[in-house]
Amino acid sequence: MKRVLMAWGVTILAAGAGTGCASSRPNLETTFQDIHQRVAKIEKTADTSIGKLDETAAGLSAKVADHGEQASQLRAVMEENEKKTAALARDARTIKEGIYRAQGITVVPRAGISVSPTPRK
């Protein structure tokens, strides 16, 4: 940042020197002092702004890390729920088959499930 400010200062000085060659020496010194004061003011403002940007960036980085952790936890919970859902579906299928067997109903697996009654003994 200081390099950019110095480059602008040198550019302004060069422009001032080019246009002020015919002017007197005290006027050139006043121009240099004015430029120096402006650059110092810009540096102060830039330092404050950079400090605020650093604070904001640190806060945002912390939030991103926190959200990443929460996303990982959510993924783990979702995977656990998918396993539980699959287990419940297997249990429901087992219970249904047990009820059909107890009632003497045969289940024939095909594209769909068709139920056909079987004679009781």
Q: Tell me the whole-structure pTM to 2 decimals.
A: 0.45
Per-residue pLDDT of the chain (121 residues; tens, 9 = 90+): 566 666 666 677 666 655 555 455 678 888 889 999 999 888 888 888 888 999 999 999 999 999 999 999 999 999 999 999 999 999 999 998 888 888 888 766 655 555 555 555 5
Q: Of 87, 91, 120, which Cα lies nearest the Cα of 105?
A: 120
In 1-121, alpha helices (H): 2-19, 25-103
Q: Which two tokens stand for residue 13?
A: 């000085």
Residues contacting 113, CB < 8 A, separation 6+: 107
